[in-house]
Structure 1
Amino acid sequence: MTGFEYVLPVIRGIQAEQEYYVSMCPLGILPKLFPLPIQNIDPEKRTQRQINKGRLPKMTNYIVDNPQDYVFSAITATIDADTTFKPLGEVAEERKLGRLRIPMDGNLMIHDGLHRRLALEMALRKNPQLRHETIPLILYINTRLERSQQIFCDLNRWGVRLSSTLTLLYDHREIGK
């Protein structure tokens, strides 16, 4: 351990009898918190999909072209490190609010939202003012390889692509027409 750490304001929750945390991450620090994954790792040692660079320009343009009304869902990640949660207080809801300390030499891995993270970084280059905006992070703690792979699998198992009919019906942007 290096002694240096990230300190994030978080809300603590319980899911499957395990603690997890939600934080609002400024877009400007997102690339620092989640460096790019190594792409030439054997699939059995990975915990996420390969990057599809073809998806990034459209996602980036969506953000840049819609700075007043783009919407991205949370980024879900795991932390393979010994973290410390310090609650704001000891009374009721104060025990759920606090600060999560994460060693900087810990391994933070995105399991849902890798392409969003990359598109946001590209959008920041085009519009630096976005650095002050935030995206939710959902953080699962002390996950080793097998658990991280299972989280990735579970998160991606149930996603259903929106039908083209609903896309046409609900998309009110000019790019969707």
Structure 2
Amino acid sequence: MVGGVHIPALKGRQGDRDMYLLSVKNTMLLRNFSAGAEPADTKDKKAQRSLDPRHAGDIVTYMVENTDDYVLGAVTYAIDVVDARDHFVELQEGTGVGFLVLPLDAELRCLDGQHRRQAIKEASEADPRLLDDYTAVVLYVEDDYMRRRQMFSDMNATPKVVAKALNVAFDSRDPYALAALRLADEHPMLKGVVEKEKARITTRSGAIFSLAGVYDALKRYVLGANVPRGRSPRDRDVDTLVQLGGELFDTLASSRDEFAAVTAQVRSFMMDDGSPTALGAYMAAERRATLLLSTTTLRVIAGALREALSRDNESDPLRYVYSLSQVDFTPDSPLFNAAGFVGRTGTPSARNQEVMAATRALAAVLAR
């Protein structure tokens, strides 16, 4: 048996590769598993994306703020020199349970999870208790550079991103998420017409906004159109955020009769078990007629109201009901076309610079 670092492991196989599942104490992870995909002298042979310090920093913040119940997925590595006959001590023949002996000269290359690995290092410096926690590691035996690149591509080819609306609905830590969910369930303008799971709302959907849109609008209204990146600040409690969100949607409901009319029609279809085809045709026609039935437009209005309030040193958004009622929200609106917010299809573009341009333009109209 060769010398090296002994780690409890489960041995398995995927295709023609041996693989090992490890539970590694963070002190050992930081000592023996780097965040790099390739050694420093082989930068021209990348098998991973470049490390983004800001992304790693977001994970650090999450870990430090939630040390008792944070969750990090397994980190995936490739190792070059492990041979099961020399480097795996099976406790009982045929079980695949035993000890993996990491050779001291082995090259360990991170294929997935480098930001988690880097975050563990930085978070442990902020809170040394995290060094006693464990991280799951999936270790593949693969010494071929091109096959490692293919592994990285394969691992990132099929994952499906969870819809933001569903993340918001499930997040019990973020006060903005909790407030958005309450607003969607309780506010008269939103009740029954908010999509809580899907990433996007189709033209024919009976939902007016997505939960992700309500969440983003709340953050823009409270924090400003340039929402800070990363996780939401915990600067206000949920009740306060619900109150502020109520101000936003009360202003919308009071200034634009379109919302009440469409909401009433949608609810009528629902109560009467109306034809989904008829509801879809109605919603498609309404969306062709106005930009208001768009989650992206909701973000613009929320940010513009916050900017107008700040410019005017005002605290009551209801003072903008009249000016908001006079804004042209048709697809031909000169205001939104000049901002590049409306494309050839007559629908709002979701590109951030166009959203910001439309926000600034609308705020200039609303502010006194």
The runs of 5 or more residues in structure 1 that have no matched partner are: none
2:57 maps to what in 1? 57
TM-score normalised over the length of structure 1: 0.88
For residues 71 and 39 of structure 1, the distance between their equivalents in structure 2, rounded to whole angstroms, comes to 33
Residue 17 of structure 1, CA deviation = 4.0
1:147 and 2:147 aligned: yes
Q: Which has the higher helix share?
A: 2
Q: Deviations over 1:43-68 (max 9, x none)?
A: xx111110011112211010010011
2:88 pairs with 1:85: yes
Contact 1:7 1:102 in 2 (8 A): yes
RMSD: 1.9
1:84-130 deviation per Cα after TM superposition (whole angstroms, max 9, x unaligned): 1110022x53xx10111121111101111100000111010011111
1-side partners of 2:99 and 2:33: how far apart? 19
The aligned residue for residue 41 of structure 1 is 43
Q: 1:21-43 CA deviation, whole Å, 9 max, x = no partner?
A: 1010111121221224339812x
The match for 1:110 is 110
1:134 alignment partner AA:
Y
TM-score calculated relative to the size of structure 2: 0.44
Contact 2:12–2:20 (Cα < 8 Å) also in 1 = yes
- Could you list the runs of 5+ residues in structure 2 that have no partner in the other structure? 178-368
Runs of 4+ in 1 over 3 A off after TM superposition: none
CA drift at 1:176: 5.8
* Cα distance in 2 between the residues matched to 1:50 and 1:40: 13
Which structure is higher in RCO with an 8 Å CA cutoff and minimum separation 6?
Answer: 1
1:29 corresponding residue in structure 2: 28
Asked if the contact 2:35–2:117 (Cα under 8 Å) also holds between the matched residues in 1, the reply is no
